[in-house]
Chains A and B, each alone.
Chain A
Amino acid sequence: MTTLNLSFYSAFTLSSLGLAFHRTHLISALLCLESIILSIYVALSIWPIQMQAASPTLLPILILTFSACEAGTGLALLVASTRTHGSDHLHNFNLLQC
């Protein structure tokens, strides 16, 4: 595959694995989530240029919108968990198990 594809795939994979394997702090997971969105944004921006098609040019703007909402929600969850549990450690959420 081309260099561009490889860079996009590897960025996405590394970010997802980072989301899965960061066990300590919630903020590291949120950061990885942001990098997933970033890699998708970059891929969506490059794609219409490569395909020479003009219609999907709108998509990165939509992704940005959703990413902003999502980041806001994630940070709100971070603040809420810090307020109730005192820190953003992920093992606090294990108290939800039945």
Chain B
Amino acid sequence: MEISLLLNTSMLLTLLIILTPILMPLMTMTPCPPTSITHYVKTAFLTSLIPTTLFMYSGVESITSNWEWKFIQNFKIPISLKMDLYSTTFLSIALFVTWSILQFALWYMASEPHITKFFSYLLTFLAMMLLLTSANNMFLLFIGWEGVGIMSFLLIGWWYARAEANTAALQAILYNRIGDIGLILSLAWLASTLNTWEIQQTIHHTQTPTLPLLGLILAATGKSAQFGLHPWLPAAMEGPTPVSALLHSSTMVVAGIFLLIRTHPMLANNQTALTLCLCLGALSTLFAATCALTQNDIKKIIAFSTSSQLGLMMVTIGLNLPQLAFLHISTHAFFKAMLFLCSGSIIHNLNGEQDIRKMGGLQNTLPITTTCLTIGNLALMGTPFLAGFYSKDLIIENLNTSYLNSWALLTTLLATSFTATYSLRLTIMVQTGSTRSPSISPINENNPTILNPIIRLAIGSVMAGLIISSLITPSKTPPMTMPFTTKMAAILVTAMGAILALELSNMTRTLTTPKQNPYSNFSVSLGYFNPLIHRLSSTNLLNSGQKIATQLIDLSWYKKIGPEGLANLQQTSSKMSTSIHKGLIKSYLSTFALTILIIMATL
């Protein structure tokens, strides 16, 4: 049978299965219960394995063009979906992770009265994300981009009675909007210069101009929480844990990196843009790892860890290795979603406790959850032959053997060791030691609805790296020869970070109180970024706005240059001449004498 036909058909069938629970209630007016939504997503996952295996077997890629929007005479925008490596692999992984998260959400949000609406929001988000990843032109990608932004807003502010949740949702929208300006700039440049929005037609054989690439990098900075537009990601933890697991760890935040992967042919020959990506990613990963060292909220630690891994993906883009970045996206989705699910289970079991200083000794009461938490943390650290190893170690090897900015190299290595430190700190404080939580909450994990997703994702975390990296053909040859120290660099820095964490945790057990020093203050207050930027930038903007509106236009142009200014001028001259007009006849008559004297002088 024709393979490309089968590929297209199964892909479109998968997307249709996803869309059915959204469209059916609109047409038949009966709501779709959450359990059946979970079954829909499971069916969609199983169906999506067909295009994935077809692609991995035969390497066939295809582009489907459906209806075409004839915008103006020579600029047509088709609805074209591209099925290549990135699209098909991401489809399967995203559906697998979403299926597990939806099953988990059945247990987590069981007491929620609007659970059906929650599930339909999650499903709409998934549809938008899949549109973004399978888009072949920038127009569809932009639709998916905005769609995931809107759903993120709705889902972060799910508990809208909480003021912090509303603030966090608004913050997410604002920061994403600043990134969207960059994307719209690139779209406008592409439309005006190259007269197309198809990604295949944007490839230059010479160096691409830097302006659209800056726009794309700004868009990625906003959506993927790189340094400068990052505060929304830790604040987005105000949403429910399934939202954090789906959006802000696996799927939405990788949209920025995915954009750069899709438009990588444009980036490949512009060294300025690549170096910018590299340094920005290195800065983001180090900053996020530093902030994660002193956080006490379990969800915020995992959020900063996500931010740090996104910085690492940006570094990979800067090394001109989009396939490796995509591999890291895929493996990262598994263990990060699992970390969030484990933390959700712990939070629910401890009756809403999110502070790790009030958790401890959970290894005995929640054995499966804490085992999977440990597996996830080990995968995050890049333990050899778990999922994270195949992508992270390759990235660090490529980093060490490339000709690039050495500052970026050093910061990435430092951030890798910090990753080990905060992961081990999380594990030790949550699982081991004496129990610091109140003993009233009934802790159990007997429900298969919570156990099956976590175990499934744990199996994925262990095996996904091996499976994915052995089934796709790399587009660039990985570095094969390097000195022994360089090869072992990632493991060495990870081990150093782990030993440091163990040493520090011994200090806390012996009640050695930490002194406040500038470095710990920097880490705790998240680098002083939030209060500085939030107050300074809004003050400056509003001040300059007031100056332009009130002082420039109202006061100056309408008053001073017009009537008031004229009146002032006349007043000045009147004041000057009033002192001359004295009303004394003597002085008036003296002017006659002066005139005569002048006439005499001219004779």
Contact = CB atoms under 8 A, between A and B. Distances in A.
Interface residues of B, number: 16
A16 B589 contact: no
Contacts of B578: 98
B584 interface: yes
Contacts of A21: 589, 593
B15 to A, nearest CB: 92
Given A9-B603, A13-B600, A97 B584 contact: yes
A46 interface: no
A96 B589 contact: no
Contacts of A93: 583, 585
Given A9-B603, A23-B586, A98 B596 contact: no
Contacts, number: 39
A98 B589 contact: no
A23 B584 CA distance: 12
B105 to A, nearest CB: 89
A38 interface: no
B583 A13 contact: no
B58 interface: no
Which of under 10, 10 to 19, 20 to 34, or 35 or more describes the interface residues of A? 10 to 19
- Interface of A: prevailing SS: helix
B162 interface: no
A9 B596 CA distance: 11
B581 A98 contact: yes
B583 A96 contact: yes
B583 A94 contact: yes
Contact of A94 (B584, B595, B599): B584
Interface string A28-69: 010000000000000000000000000000000000000000
A76 interface: no
A20 interface: yes
Nearest to B593: A20
Contacts of B581: 98
A20 B583 contact: no
Most buried by B among A9, A20, A91, A98: A20
12 contacts: A16-B595, A16-B596, A20-B590, A21-B589, A21-B593, A23-B586, A29-B589, A91-B585, A93-B585, A94-B583, A94-B584, A96-B583
Interface of A: 9, 13, 16-17, 19-21, 23, 29, 90-91, 93-98
Given A19-B592, A98-B581, 4 more contacts: A19-B589, A20-B589, A20-B593, A94-B585
